[in-house]
Every structure is written in C-alpha cells, then in structure tokens.
Amino acid sequence: MYQKIKDIQKRYDGFLQTNNLWKNNDVFELYQFEIHNKFSKIDILIDEKLRLGKYIERFVSFELSQNKSIEILAENIQIQRNKITLGELDCLLLKDKSPVHLEIIYKFYLFDDKIGNTEIEHFIGPNRKDALIEKLSKLKDKQLPILHTKECKNLLNNFKIELKDISQQIYFKAQLFLPIYKTNINLKLLNKNCITGFYCNLKDLHRFNNCKFFIPIKKDWIIIPHKNVDWLQFSDFKKEVTPILERQFSPLCWLKKENGEIEKFFLVWWT
C-alpha cells in the first residue's frame, strides 16, 4: 500500500508540472482552463486498472477539489439519445460561481515536419495513430457541440444553469518531443515549455552506448525522471526494447548520461 501511495504521488507531481499546451485561446479559439495550485500532497487511491486518460481525470478531480473557488457539479456525464450515446462531458463545475463545461486532455506528441504544413499538423502520436490536429478538430466539431443538444439542456436545467451562461474550456496538458537531429525548433502557437525530450530510432542509439536506460510502465510516463530505478546497460536495453518496437509500439524511455543527467525520450519504430 505504501508503495502504491508513493507511485500515485510521483505521478501527481509529474501531472502538476506538465504545462498547458497553449495559452488563452491561441489555438482553434479553444479556451485553456487556468488553475493555480501549489504542489500538494495527494491523499486518494486510484484504481490501477484505469487507462491513463481516466487516471489523469482522477488527478484533475482532486486538483479541482483543493481549490476553494471551484465547486464540481458533475463528472463523466454520459449524454444519450434514444439509448445511443452521443458523447460524454468530462466535468461541469462552478469557478468563482460561474458555470464551466471542462474537457480534460493529457497527451504525448512528437514533432515530424514531414507530416502536414503547419506547426499543429506536425505533431503526431508516438505510434502515428493519432495527431494533434485530429484531437483539436474532434474537440471543436464533435465534443464541445454536445453541450448544445436538447439532452444537455435537460441536464443543465437540473443544475439551474442557462446555456448562455456557461463557458466551455479545455484543460489540455501535453509533453512534446522533438527529433534528435532537430532540437532547435521554435514553436509559435504551442507552449515551448511543453517540450520534454527528444525521439529517435534504434539506429540512433549508438551515440548513447555508454549511457544507461530505463523503460517505465505507461502510467509512469507522466512522472519526472529520477535516479532510483533499475537502470539497464546499453546491450540489455536493446534486447528488451527490440521486441517492443517489432510490435510497432514506441515506448517512452529514460536515458541516464555519464554525467548523471537524465532525459526522457521516445524510441520509435517508424523513422
């Protein structure tokens, strides 16, 4: 139990230190939710079986509950029409007594300028199955408009909230990774403080043959790297990671340099 509590705290610390992907409404006119909390101790248990996105939502719920200006009205609200699910509202809350519909996202994106023509289009998921532009389009065109359906109107009536009074905001945190050969990329729309590390392929690893490595489980992707793990030597790391890449899965890894510096990086199968 003690170890589980320690793991949750490390993940929560990593979550708190992850930056919002943009400021204000600079991207797609989607308003970023702002909350200013000091780093704090978390005192809840979270089901380890939850996928990472739902796990993060528990962090957000706890974070919101610690803020005196915020009152959570409802979370994970399924919106249905004739027994068909239209979608889900992540959270309804009052912030300074004003109603907010909040959507929660936490993502990992890699910069690939061979994809798309704009800064936003260049960011894709580690396994190339999703992209930032797709997520933003889904938010703007599918998820947020659900609030304007008749079914949601009934929900808002239950809380005595008028649709015209509610604001829709996005709590979008992300870790961004740049290609190992091009780390001087200047971001203009997205928050440069989200840049967390680099990515490379197996062929690029030779430059780190005197370093040590660690492969965290996915829920630990969000934590801040530290030295107290079972580090792998270069040859052992290659043996462990090769079958992962063969399954076309790009793991997030930690790299410990000879000077003790630790970095995060994605090892990708697709370059």
pLDDT tens sequence across 213-224:
999 999 999 999
The pLDDT value recorded for residue 257 is 95
Which residues, in sequence order, are CB contacts of 189 under 8 Å at separation 6+? 22, 26, 27, 119, 120
Alpha helices in 159-263 (DSSP H): 234-246
Residue with tokens 């609030």: 147
What number of residues does the chain have? Answer: 271
**In whole angstroms, what is the distance from residue 4 CA to residue 61 CA?**
19
Strands (E), 10-157: 31-32, 70-81, 84-95, 98-111, 123-124
Give the percent of the chain with pLDDT over 90.
Answer: 84
The pLDDT value recorded for residue 2 is 60
DSSP code for 224: P
The pLDDT value recorded for residue 85 is 82
The pLDDT value recorded for residue 269 is 96
Tokens of 166: 């509610």
Mean pLDDT of the chain: 93
